[in-house]
Chains A and B, each alone.
Chain A
Amino acid sequence: MPEHKEASVDSTSFPAPHFDVRDYARTAAGSHRDTLALETYREHPLTTDTLRTLRYLQIIERATMTHLRSVLVTATHKDARITAFLTTWAFEKYWIADAFEQIGLAHQPDGTDVDRAPFNTPSEHTIRESVIANIIGVPMIAVHMTLGTVDTWLSRAAYARVTALEPNVQLAQTLASFSQLKERQLSFFEAQARYRLTESKQGRSLTRRRLTKTPWPIGAKAEPRAATENFFSRLFGDVPQVIDELDARVDTLPGQSGLHLLRKAAQL
């Protein structure tokens, strides 16, 4: 198969052709505040453990802009279909993070201030990243689309586990709706990733290297290591098979087999 350097310019063959980006943008989910039924938590409060996990999930969702930065300084920003998707994706993530924040606040005394602390992003390699990524060019897009795929798989698995561990009807409903949003995002990321990995050998090897170096979940760098350890051990400590299943899915991505990314991240 030929290496399509600029695959998506060719209208007869481009990644994720079934995904209508304009329709996605038009029907994206905004604020969830009206559907969170926060008052129900007064009567059925969540456990401290769950609140801690939700707080973690909120922070990694909010780390979108930092992630977007490393994506946009590369050739990925040239692809207007992808940027239209990412614009909407960032919007949906913002409101998912907001929902987690609101649920947390519902467990605090009235009038508790919203956390407006700056994001903690310890290592800054923007310049180096920009130089390297631009030399690499288009195959970098495969990396970003694959990162999006794996991260969204992990988020959906995490939501399912929170629901399993905390029998709260309202939270289950909220998380199920977020999981659906993520499923839709996934149909873009995954189709893009599979296409680009199939098309480009350089994309496959680069992605392999980058996946290994990525701290999971994306955004984990914004939190102390202990918080990430808690996230994995609480949600997946008793069910390592879920982590194995996620790794098995990564194995099905072209050129990405045998990485055991999530097993390593979870340290189970």
Chain B
Amino acid sequence: MAFDIDKYTSTSKRVAWGDLDFEEFVTNPLPEATLRALRYMCDIEYHTVCYLRDLLVTPSHKEADVSAFMTMWNREEFWHGEALSAVLGAHGITVDFDQLKATRLKLGWKDRLDPIKQSLLGNIVGKDFIAVHMIWGAANEWSAVAAYNRLADLEQHPVMSELLRRIAKQEARHVAFYATQARDRLAKSKKAQVLARFALKNAWGPVGSSVMEPAEVTHVMGHIFAGEEGLREIRKLDEHISRMPGLEGLTIVETSMKKYGVSGPKAA
């Protein structure tokens, strides 16, 4: 299945919420735990540019389609941040650019070294590294779709759930890009498969876990993915990943969720 990059770029829009009645939040506000999850997701969406930079130090950006996709993807994610920040704003929680900056400053050396490591690795293995980048992106976007849809289901809020479904729809288009790229590139190269398996097994964590405090990761992932239903979703994510060429049998999502204390029925 090919991904039509022209169709994607020409239909890429910032997510709309102007037609949604935010007054609803006055009479029907979101509970504390959900706001905390939204705050997390909002930060992650804004921090996409930090991931973009990690991706740009690999050879991926030189390919025209990838570069076009990244331009639109980065902007769509920024607007997800703006949309969630508007919901938080309706509850008296301000997310400003300077706070985001403070989070980025706190990342310190770990974050500074990451692009160097990635670049080293990327330059050594060249084109095969693009496959790693693509499967990594696919895993993250699959998780995002699942998380937004699940939060929408859990809350059943007339305004927030609609907004989250709109965001999830855009994330699903990102999945289509990353998964198509990953499948093609993995299928073509045994070395890429070995690299991808190694990287996912050793370094993958829930979206945001490299940026946010572990306690936040545990809260948010627990809020969204705890219980039997949650576990089913987690396993679906692992199924998507393990259907990729050379990635059979990987259970990285379930394993890393357990690491953060999110486990099936017990935590419900």
Contacts and interface: CB of A to CB of B under 8 A. Distances in A.
B53 A88 contact: no
Interface stretch (B56-64, B141-149, B159-167, B212-220): B56-64
Interface stretch (B70-78, B178-186, B228-236): B70-78
Interface residues of A, number: 46
Contacts of B72: 91, 94
Interface stretch (B22-30, B33-41, B101-109, B193-201): B101-109
B123 interface: yes
Nearest to B61: A65
Nearest to A222: B62
A77 interface: yes
A87 B115 contact: no
Contacts of A31: 9-10
A65 B67 contact: yes
A206 to B, nearest CB: 18
A117 interface: yes
Nearest to A120: B62
Interface string A59-103: 000101110110011000111110110111011001000100000
Contacts of A9: 98, 101-102
A64 B71 contact: yes
Contact of A33 (B10, B53, B71): B10
A80 B97 contact: yes
A127 B118 CA distance: 9
B98 A84 contact: no
Given A65-B61, A88-B75, A119-B67, A21 B56 contact: no
A86 B116 contact: no
Contacts of B10: 31, 33
A80 B74 contact: no
A79 B98 CA distance: 7
A12 interface: no
Nearest to B10: A31
Contact of B101 (A8, A22, A64, A90): A8
Given A73-B53, A83-B49, A88-B75, 20 more contacts: A8-B101, A9-B98, A66-B61, A66-B62, A69-B53, A72-B50, A73-B115, A77-B53, A78-B104, A79-B101, A80-B97, A80-B101, A81-B97, A90-B75, A91-B71, A114-B6, A116-B65, A124-B123, A126-B57, A131-B116
What 9 pairs across the A-B complex have the smallest Cβ distances?
Answer: A72-B53, A69-B56, A80-B100, A80-B97, A78-B104, A83-B49, A81-B97, A118-B62, A65-B67
Interface of A: 6, 8-9, 11, 21-22, 25-26, 30-31, 33, 62, 64-66, 68-69, 72-73, 77-81, 83-84, 86-88, 90-91, 94, 98, 114-119, 121, 124, 126-127, 130-131, 134
26 contacts: A25-B78, A64-B71, A65-B71, A73-B56, A73-B57, A78-B104, A78-B105, A79-B101, A80-B97, A81-B101, A83-B49, A91-B71, A94-B71, A115-B64, A116-B65, A117-B64, A118-B62, A119-B62, A119-B64, A121-B62, A124-B123, A126-B57, A126-B119, A127-B116, A127-B119, A130-B112
